[in-house]
Structure 1
Amino acid sequence: MASWAGAAAMIALEDIRLRQGDFRLEGALEVPAGALCALIGPSGGGKSTILNVIAGFAPAEGRVRVAGRDVSRLPPAERPVSMLFQEHNLFPELTARANVALGASLALRPPPEALARADAALAAVGLEGLGERLPAELSGGQRQRVALARALLRDRPALLLDEPFAALGPGMRREMLGLVEELRRRRGLTVILVTHDPEEARRADLAAVAAEGRFGPAMPAEALFRAPPPALRAWLGED
């Protein structure tokens, strides 16, 4: 496994503090360019909120940097990240091709260039030839591949995954995570993955814990699980 010590941060959360009613979250996190970082911890610990802070959907105190740029005040559409949610969020009346093309153009009738890029993105996720199918005509795994293709079409250097494959069976889940890993290496993406699966987190380059109102820092996943902090030990049932 590669060493990320001293590598430049693609994503940096600096002195983040957030309040949403009774919920509190604070911490700091750095993820180097090209790394896969798993966010792990109990439900309600703030893992999805951290992704929303990075993407701009959850305002917070502190600073968010992506590719060295302070994006803290930018709206979500202008931040250099793509996000894939648990729900695929496809438009049921649009074909797979048209859904993917929305990643490049928000026009209801995408220009030919956007459609050509959509075809290439569908091929990259193994759906070549299925572009004219509606979401209802695709399996659950295929629909998530369409959503992944749309995220890739935005051509952002960072990809945020909020358990997008949680509803899939174990085999399909492994297949989709393998596809993400292949695309990450091929495109040099920086990926943050929210997961409740310790084994998925162990396979990441880096991992960070979100629990009890705090998160971070990221550290080599192998080292984190070899000497887990108290909050992680409690969640793993090792206390």
Structure 2
Amino acid sequence: MTTGLTLKSLRITRGETELLAIDTDVPSGAVLSVMGPSGAGKSTLLAALTGTLAPAFHLQGRVILNGRDITNLPTEARRVGILFQDDLLFPHLSVGQNMAFGLTKGGTRAERRAKIETALTDVGLEGFFERDPATLSGGQKARVALMRMLLSAPEALLLDEAFGGLDPALREHIRALVFTRARTLNLPVVMVTHDPADAEAADGPILKIG
């Protein structure tokens, strides 16, 4: 089976205007950095990959993930995870309850809790299950958001300016954590960023659009 993410003759238009045209492969464990000015279509590309492209846009070509054509699949069937600049944690739920939203279905309550506890321990947040997200630092929130997404067992990872809200030292730490996790899990990654340091740290191909 072919692994990785293939964007085959992908073309996104709005009316008569072509926003972007891409034909590339992102191997499992590799990071494709997508760079360009605001309005160039970077977030539109991610929307096409997650199945959330607005009706005003038209998509041609195919999106193939690990041999599956996901071009026309609903978002929940694609197995594509995404991290945003904002952590998007639910403020009325505990850390553990937030992470439960990422868990794939199945297992007893105790088994599901154990998976969450293990995920928290893996990123240095042992004992944080009952914590209020409001009490977390920016770096801790970023780690919770990452592990919540990974608990959904994605086959690809998208990063939408995911490190933009972090201070420089924390940005470097969280970026390294995300890239290491993605490579360990053999996930193809598409990262949208304005920061050349992100692309340099990704150590993969760079696609400039716009």
Question: What TM bracket, shorter-length normalisation?
Answer: 0.7 to 0.9
Q: Distance in 2 between matches of 1:20 and 1:153?
A: 35
Say if 2:86 and 2:165, in contact at 8 Å, map to a contact too: no
Map residues 150-169 of structure 1 onto 2, 5 A cutoff: 150-169=148-167
Amino acid at match of 1:35: A
Count of residues in correspondence between the two structures:
203
Q: Which residue in 1 is equivalent to 2:8?
A: 14
Amino acid at match of 2:8: E
Q: Which residue in 2 is equivalent to 1:51?
A: 46
How much does 1:73 deviate? 1.3
Q: Which residue in 2 is equivalent to 1:236?
A: none
How much does 1:204 deviate? 2.3
What is the TM-score of this pair, normalised by structure 1? 0.77
Say yes or no: does 1:65 pair with 2:64: yes
SS in 2 for 1:206: coil
How much does 1:105 deviate? 5.4
What residue ranges of structure 1 are gaps of 5+ in the alignment? 1-7, 213-239
What is the TM-score of this pair, normalised by structure 2? 0.87
Equivalent of 1:149 in 132, 147, 150: 147
Say if 1:45 and 1:210, in contact at 8 Å, map to a contact too: no
How much does 1:135 deviate? 1.1
Q: Which runs of 4+ in 1 moved over 4 A?
A: none
Q: Distance in 2 between matches of 1:136 and 1:23?
A: 42
> Whose relative contact order is higher, 1 or 2, with alpha carbons under 8 Å and at least 6 apart?
2
**Root-mean-square deviation over aligned CA pairs:** 2.2
How much does 1:65 deviate? 0.4
Say if 2:157 and 2:190, in contact at 8 Å, map to a contact too: yes
How much does 1:157 deviate? 2.3
Gap change, CA 1:9 and 1:188, over 3 Å in 2: closer
Say if 1:86 and 1:165, in contact at 8 Å, map to a contact too: yes
Say if 1:40 and 1:207, in contact at 8 Å, map to a contact too: no
SS in 1 for 2:205: strand
How much does 1:25 deviate? 2.5
Say if 2:32 and 2:206, in contact at 8 Å, map to a contact too: yes
Decide which moves more: 65-74 or 185-194.
Answer: 185-194
Say if 1:42 and 1:210, in contact at 8 Å, map to a contact too: no
Q: Distance in 1 between matches of 2:52 and 2:97?
A: 25
Amino acid at match of 1:57: T
Q: Which residue in 1 is equivalent to 2:187?
A: 189
Q: Distance in 1 between matches of 2:148 and 2:160?
A: 15
Q: Distance in 2 between matches of 1:194 and 1:95?
A: 29
Q: Distance in 2 between matches of 1:153 and 1:202?
A: 27
